[in-house]
Chain A
Amino acid sequence: MVRAERVYKAFGHREVLRGVDLDVARGEVVCLLGPSGSGKSTFLRCVNHLERIDSGRLWVDGELVGYRRKDGRLQELKEREVARKRSEIGMVFQQFNLFPHMTALDNVSLAPVLVRKQARPETRDRSRALLERVGLGERADAYPSELSGGQQQRVAIARALAMSPSLMLFDEPTSALDPELVGEVLEVMRDLARSGMTMVVVTHEIGFAREVANRVAFMDGGVIVESGPPGEVLRKPKSERTRSFISKVL
């Protein structure tokens, strides 16, 4: 589903990704761990082309991200084509980034109507069902400012699901939440994983990684240092860097 080969990215002189290799199979849940500044967010942003990679190759669903191959050469995709591909990848942010001037329902309905040109009434029914699914059926008409952090993040997940993505990216979805609200968001993510969604989750929730992830990847200094089943990476990490990080987080 996602395939990264030697992905490299620098901001000016700052090398943020220095050859990331990662494979995520369809239906797999991969948790990405790593210290602050190791490039986890940057990597996720590269996957849906919010950030352009400098070298290496990146595929989503078998297609190159941001480019097409034509006559043996790479050709950059047009904005509309990039946007269409992005619409098939859901993204959930640490700061929720809900649209504050719209109700929860409108947040969820915006992209299907605007991007997929779906009819409004059907979209609203579907959006309502999605809000129901994340446990917020009654709060459909609330504005984000009227919702708790956990509720906002669940709306954000419903908003991403509204485009029926084949891949979901989560960037520290629970890091901005009060401890007592973390559980409700993880619960929704757990359900999603059970339903077979392919997910790449940047998180510091080791418990979630251990329980839900098929694979855990540890990132440091712009490379994936170690990856494998959670039992191995979390319990008996091979690398010294992974070991010291995990001992700090646990």
Chain B
Amino acid sequence: MAPAAHLEPLAYRPVRHVGRWVGVGALAVVGAMLVNTLVSNPRYQWDVMWANFTTATTLGALWVTVQLTVVSMAVGAMLGTLLAVMRLSPSPLVSSASWTYVWVFRGTPVIVQILFWNFVSALYPQLSIGVPFGPELLHGDANQLISPFTAAVLGLGLNEAAYMAEIVRAGLLSVGSGQTEAALALGLTRLQSLRRVVLPQAMRVIVPPTGNEMISMLKTSSLASVIAVTELLYSVQIVYSRTFEQVPLLLVAVVWYLVLTTVLSIGQYYIERHFARGGGATGASSPWKVLRRSVGQGHVRPQLTGSGGLV
């Protein structure tokens, strides 16, 4: 151990970050200009925007957007997980079925898929559920069964499943084969080992890109406006087609989307932290920490985390 005297703070002249200060200055000017134009340009009509921000119509549409996002994402995550497991199956038939699904649904624009599901009743006017080539159990008119909302969920969810399949597959592959081996050796079945041992570990790899997918889904759900689902975008479009106040009404949508994506980002942080159990680094800084740090100090200090990695 060195004597304490050696631990006195060193007196030295720190390196001057001239470039950094020039950059900060430039950013400050641009920022000020932006704020200035947002506030001073009357054509933004902030008063109209605020007047429409919490009307029953807007809040109703907001709720539709949230439902659309959550339901489509749930469909995508569940089907995507199934596809990922199928893709890793030792049976070539099962694995290529999964591959084909991803090929089709990732290879076509999601807006086309949404339109397609909306017009599926033209293709199959009658839908029925029953034993293949056998008796029918349920029967209905496709036009009634597939509402625009259902069509949007199908379009968004089935498309999402193709992306989630790749994300989940990468997660499953990130868990070493020794884990499955140990689980099987203990007498777990393949399914038990997948659910209790492999998937929970794969979540560390799966959650961050899934958070991005969720945020992306929130915004992509606005495509449902093309088939007249009254979600956020379509709802403000209806209003401004009547009042011609396009800019402030689009701002209503913009601000709400921003609010929702912010909420999702914060939620993502806590979910990531949950799945980092037992593994050291969380891989992300708390949103509050980031905020405090950017307000408090000018720069980010490297932080030592549990596993000893630098974040």
Q: Are B189 and A145 in contact (CB under 8 A)?
A: no
Does the CB pair B184–A50 fall under 8 Å? Answer: yes
List chain A residues, Cβ under 8 A from B307. Answer: 145
Q: How many residues of B contact A (CB 8 A)?
A: 24
A97 touches B280 (CB 8 A): no
B77-128, CB < 8 A from A: none
A80 cross-chain contacts in B, Cβ below 8 A: 189
In this complex, which of A50, A114, A145, A156 has the most chain B Cβ atoms within 10 angstroms of its Cβ?
A: A114
Closest Cβ of chain A to B274, distance in Å, is 10
Q: Which of B176, B182, B184, B197: most chain A Cβ within 10 A?
A: B182
Chain B residue nearest in CB terms to A89 = B185
- Mask for B202-223, Cβ within 8 A of A = 1, else 0? 0000000000000000000000
Given A99-B197, A100-B278, the answer on whether A83 and B179 have CB atoms closer than 8 Å is: no
B187 with A83: CB separation less than 8 A? yes
> Are A97 and B178 in touch, CB under 8 angstroms?
yes
Closest beta carbon of chain A to B277's beta carbon, Å: 6
Q: Which of A95, A144, A163 contacts B187 (CB 8 A)?
A: A163
Contact (A110, B278) CB under 8 Å given A86-B185, A99-B179, A115-B187: no
Report B204 CB to chain A, min CB distance, Å. 9
Within the assembled complex, what's the spacing in Å between the Cα atoms of A144 and B201?
A: 13
Is there a chain A Cβ closer than 8 Å to B188's Cβ?
Answer: yes
| Interchain CB contact (< 8 A) of B188 among A83, A98, A100 | A83
Residues of A within 8 A of B144 (CB): none
- Tell me, yes or no, whether B139 is within 8 Å of chain A by CB: no
Q: Is B141 an interface residue (CB 8 A)?
A: no
Interface contact B178-A87, CB-CB below 8 Å: no
**Which residues from chain B contact A99 at a C-beta distance below 8 Å?**
179, 182-183, 197, 201
Q: How far is the CA of A111 from the CA of B197 in the complex (A)?
A: 11
Residue interface mask B267-287, A partner, CB < 8 A = 1: 000000001011110000000
Return the contact of A50 from the options B185, B196, B275 (Cβ within 8 A). B185
Residues of A within 8 A of B275 (CB): 101
Q: Are A145 and B279 in contact (CB under 8 A)?
A: yes
CA distance A50 to B183 in the complex (A): 11
**A111-B184 CB under 8 A given contacts A99-B179, A101-B201:** no
Residues of A within 8 A of B183 (CB): 99
- Say whether A101 contacts B185, CB under 8 Å: no
With both beta carbons as reference points, the residue of chain B lying nearest to A111 in the complex is identified as B186
- Which residues in chain A, 115-146, are within 8 Å of chain B measured between CB atoms? 115, 143-145
Q: CB of B190 within 8 A of chain A?
A: yes
Q: B200 contacts the other chain (Cβ, under 8 Å)?
A: yes
Closest to A85 in B: B187
Tell whether, in the assembled complex, residue A86 and residue B184 are in contact, meaning their CB atoms are under 8 Å apart: yes
CB contact between A101 and one of B176, B187, B190, B200 (< 8 Å): that residue: B200
Q: A97-B179, A99-B197, A101-B201 are in contact. Are A145 and B187 (CB under 8 A)?
A: no
A79 beta carbon closer than 8 Å to chain B: yes
Known: A93-B178, A145-B280. A87 touches B187 (CB 8 A): yes
Per-position contact with A for B245-282: 1 when CB-CB < 8 Å, else 0? 00000000000000000000000000000010111100
Q: Return chain B residues, CB-CB under 8 Å to A86.
A: 184-187
B277: chain A residues within 8 A (beta carbon):
101, 143
**Given that A101-B277, A101-B278, A145-B307 are known contacts, is A83 also in contact with B181, CB under 8 Å in the complex?**
no
Q: Is the CB of B189 within 8 A of A87?
A: no
B294 within 8 Å of A by Cβ? Answer: no
Q: How far is the CA of A103 from the CA of B277 in the complex (A)?
A: 10
- Whether B192 sits at the interface, judged by CB under 8 Å, is yes
**Nearest-Cβ distance from residue A162 to partner chain B, whole angstroms:** 8
B181 proximity list for chain A (CB < 8 A): 50, 93, 97
What B residues does A88 contact at CB under 8 A? 187
Interface: A194 (CB within 8 A): no
Contact of A48 with B by CB under 8 A = yes
| Interface: A91 (CB within 8 A) | yes
Q: Does A160 contact B (CB under 8 A)?
A: yes
Interface residue from B187, B201, B278, B280 paired with A111 (Cβ < 8 Å): B187
In angstroms, Cα B181 to Cα A160, docked, is 13
Contacting A at CB under 8 A, from B271-309, are: 275, 277-280, 307
CA distance A102 to B178 in the complex (A): 15
Query: Complex formed: what's the CA distance from A12 to B280 in Å?
Result: 40
Contact A114–B188 (Cβ < 8 Å)? yes
**A48 proximity list for chain B (CB < 8 A):** 185
State the 3 A-B residue pairs at the shortest beta-carbon distance, nearest first. A87-B187, A143-B278, A97-B182
Cβ contacts A to B, 14 pairs, < 8 Å: A79-B189, A79-B190, A83-B188, A83-B189, A86-B185, A90-B185, A97-B178, A99-B182, A99-B197, A101-B275, A103-B278, A145-B278, A156-B182, A159-B186
Q: Which residues in A have some Cβ–Cβ distance to B below 8 Å?
A: 48, 50, 79-80, 83-91, 93, 95, 97-103, 110-111, 114-115, 143-145, 156, 159-160, 163
What residues of chain B have their CB less than 8 Å away from a CB belonging to chain A?
A: 176, 178-179, 181-190, 192, 196-197, 200-201, 275, 277-280, 307
Supplied contacts A83-B189, A160-B186, 8 more A-B pairs, CB within 8 Å? A86-B185, A97-B179, A98-B182, A99-B197, A101-B275, A111-B187, A143-B279, A160-B185
